[in-house]
Amino acid sequence: METRETDPRVRLWGPVCQAVALLLGPYAEVVLHDAERDRVLAIWNPHAGRAPGDPSLLGELDRLEPAAQDVFGPYEKLLADGRRLSSVSAVLRGEDGRPSAVLCVNLDRTPLDQAAAVLSRFAAPTVERPEPLFEQDWTERVQEIVGTHVRERGRPVERFGRVERMEVLADLDRAGVFAVRRAVPVVATALKASRSTVYALLADLKAPRSPR
């Protein structure tokens, strides 16, 4: 902790500030401001080179809508080195109800942004899959076609009606799935239907249509 002088407000709220800094450190800067003089009283884990006695510039809070009584944020701030901060500020009042100090917590978002970037790279492919590696894997084609219908309809496959199942089977047939031996058991599992149901639907699908 850096403090300019022994101040009763630092003695009163300092342990709270230190607890927050220890919990979120070294990524959180915790600052206790003098609400009347607009100066820094004490600071834990400084991020921007500030020190006790420096201007607080609390006027920025006047532009924000409070999130709760005497609490502002989280709101975003930007350091000169490009780091983004998520900040929250709380007005601390004395016994007379007047603002005595302002507690600010500035959380460095850099590790969170880096983690999000890593996760996003794992979450989705960055290049198209090599089709030659999968063209022989007809079971994956079954999963892909059935899954596409599920996503388009927005409901699980077990809630598909007869017409919807017929449409799925028609797509599977066009993909050449039923040219593979023992395809029906795999399709039945994907559709959560019995084999006899799939065989019956296939028979209807392939039945010649009588002219009208």
What pLDDT sits at residue 133?
46
- Could you read off the pLDDT tens digit of each residue along the chain, which spans 212 residues? 555 557 889 999 999 999 999 999 888 999 999 988 888 999 999 887 788 888 877 766 666 576 678 888 888 887 777 788 888 989 898 888 888 899 999 999 888 888 888 887 776 666 665 555 445 577 888 888 999 999 998 989 989 999 999 999 999 999 888 888 888 999 999 999 999 999 999 999 888 765 55
CB distance 147 to 157 below 8 Å:
no
What pLDDT sits at residue 188?
93
Q: Which residues, in sequence order, are CB contacts of 204 under 8 Å at separation 6+?
A: 166
- Please say whether the dihedral angle defined by the alpha carbons of residues 113, 115, 118 and 121, taken in this order, is positive or negative: negative
What pLDDT sits at residue 38?
84
What pLDDT sits at residue 134?
47
Roughly how many angstroms between the first and final C-alpha of the chain, as a whole number? 89
Cis, peptide link before residue 74, omega less than 30° from 0: yes
d(Cα 16, Cα 169) in Å, to the nearest integer?
64
What pLDDT sits at residue 131?
53
| Exposure of 181 in the CB half-sphere (CA atoms within 13 A) | 0
Neighbours of 33 (CB within 10 A): 27
Environment class of residue 37 by beta-carbon count within 10 Å: exposed (0-12), middle (13-18) or buried (19+)? exposed
> CA dist 156 to 33, 124, 138, 172, 191, Å?
55, 23, 22, 18, 9
In the sheet with 28-34, reading across from the earlier edge strand, the strands are: 2-3, 39-44, 28-34, 99-108, 84-93, 71-78, 66-68
Amino acid present at 54: D
